[in-house]
Amino acid sequence: LILSINSSIMWQKDTPDSPSIQYSKVIFTAFDHLEEGLPAITQAAEKAALQLVSFGGRLLVSYMPEAPASSNSFAIEAYFRSGGMKMKKYAKYGISRIDSGDVLLIDDLGLDTELRKAHIEQAREAGALVILFGSASSSLSTEADFLIDTGLLPGTAPSVQLDGLPRAICPAAPTANITALWMFTGELVAACTRLGRMPAMFQSIIVPGGRDWLKKYSSVDFHAYITVDPVSPNLLGSAYLAEMRRCLQGLCDQVTSLQAGGEMLAATFRAGGIARVATLGHHLPGQFGLPGDPMRLDDSLTWNIQQEYDVPKLMEEIDQGDALLLIGYFDYPPWNDWEPFREIGFPSIWVTGNR
């Protein structure tokens, strides 16, 4: 979404599709490919569940300590996210031990390729199961035990073509890889239930009681006293993908608003201002600076949307003539707190989920 608005800044209306629609079409194509590949995702999940339940393996996600956030956004999303499995741990390349029976999840955006190849080799030599998320055309596609193929081109797969630009912009691969990750996670949980175990899951800290839940099960991988009926194969992965389709279609239905947002930010640039962005999310900050990012949004705000909606503090970091793109969670900031911001004429775009 950030990248859709980002590219709308530069869109000329005589092109066939707006940038947000171009971007969405590529993501829908990846969704179609993942739907076709759901049986393969389930097969990988069943093998992973066997490692975790029967052999006591650990569920690890590859992390590159020396790499920028853009190289680790998949790992950050996978590791600590409401709805995710609490047993996931970082496997930091060059630091963390990997043992026989472990499961290593790793993504491929064409970044740090040699390091990722070395991490895969280390894991497989140790006897771990390696599951790669990315393109079947990638140079790493044959290195892992399982490939979950998104159907996109290798690398970050920029997806928006604009007249006057030498190459496509707006990476689609991160969104596709994350979608594949959560489809896999759903099928992994389901496979564990078919082996008689229910993994402990993260609950959102925004949900009432969420912090207490996390504290209570902080060291629990599988519940000892909570059981569920076995969940059928392909059910949870399909349900997740259907919800993703619904959400993306909802954005497509608001293309006029996306275009208006892009035009507002373009006017900010023409007037010499800066388009600043604040995000609430694990994966989002890692999207800035990827190959294909048009680099039009400034993400340097130190104001922390995750902890406070302190508008006076925010206004200390924003100059008159700037604009703000705020990517929230599932609610708006307290409306009254934003009146001073609006009264002095700061233009803003707010994006939020819908309860």
Model pLDDT for residues 187-198, shown as the tens digit of each residue: 999 999 999 999
Could you tell me the two tokens for 264?
A: 């507002």
- Cα separation of the two ends of the chain: 19
pTM: 0.92
Q: Contact, 234 vs 39, CB < 8 A?
A: yes
Q: Flag residues of the chain having pLDDT under 50.
A: 1, 3-4, 14
Residue 119 has what pLDDT? 98
Residue 13 has what pLDDT? 53
Residue 3 has what pLDDT? 46
Q: Contact, 193 vs 179, CB < 8 A?
A: no
The interaxial angle of helices 69-79 and 173-194, nearest 10 deg, is 30
Supply the DSSP symbol for 130.
Answer: E
From CA 330, how far away is CA 351, in angstroms rounded? 9
Alpha helices in 9-159 (DSSP H): 19-36, 38-54, 69-79, 113-125
Residue 218 has what pLDDT? 85
Sheet containing 275-279: order of strands: 275-279, 323-327, 348-351
Residue 28 has what pLDDT? 97
Q: Contact, 317 vs 337, CB < 8 A?
A: no
Residue 243 has what pLDDT? 95
Nearest CA among 224, 149, 178 for reference residue 81: 178
From CA 20, how far away is CA 34, in angstroms rounded? 21
Q: Contact, 210 vs 82, CB < 8 A?
A: yes
From CA 134, how far away is CA 148, in angstroms rounded? 6
Q: How many CB atoms lie within 10 A of CB 254?
A: 13
Nearest CA among 3, 2, 1, 9 for reference residue 269: 9
Residues 6 or more apart whose Cβ sits within 8 Å of residue 248: 24, 27, 28, 31
Residue 317 has what pLDDT? 79
Rg (CA), the chain: 21
